[in-house]
Amino acid sequence: MNWEASPDWEFDSAIHDDPADLVENWQTSVSLARANADRACAEGGLDTRSKTTRHGETHNLRWILTHMIEEYARHNGHVDLSRESIDGLTGE
């Protein structure tokens, strides 16, 4: 992928894709991520380093897992706010 040509690729690349295909892609990605996390944990534990990102960074598995929890929580919060604006219900 050419990040230089489309720096917002991750935000606009799937705008015309079928939602069912996107869910299937997400489920496949989750399965791969779980398998990679299991392998990394077995081989070196939570201090196992990632490959270098496109920004030249590396992270340990502990940081990656914490970051994923944070991202899921943030996006679930966004969905909850959207739902609340539609039905007016709040709560847990």
CB atoms under 10 Å from CB of 2, counted, come to 7
Residue type, 36: N
Residue 44, both tokens = 């070196």
Number of domain units in the chain: 1
* Chain centroid offset of residue 90 CA: 26
Structural domain includes residue 63: yes
Structural domain includes residue 40: no
pTM above 0.85, yes or no: no
Structural domain includes residue 32: no
Structural domain includes residue 19: no
Helix and strand counts by DSSP (H, E) for the chain: 3, 0
What's the domain range around 69?
Answer: 59-92
Structural domain includes residue 75: yes
Per-residue pLDDT tens digits for 39-92: 999 998 999 998 888 788 999 999 999 999 998 888 887 777 787 888 777 766
Structural domain includes residue 86: yes
CA distance 29 to 34: 9
Structural domain includes residue 28: no
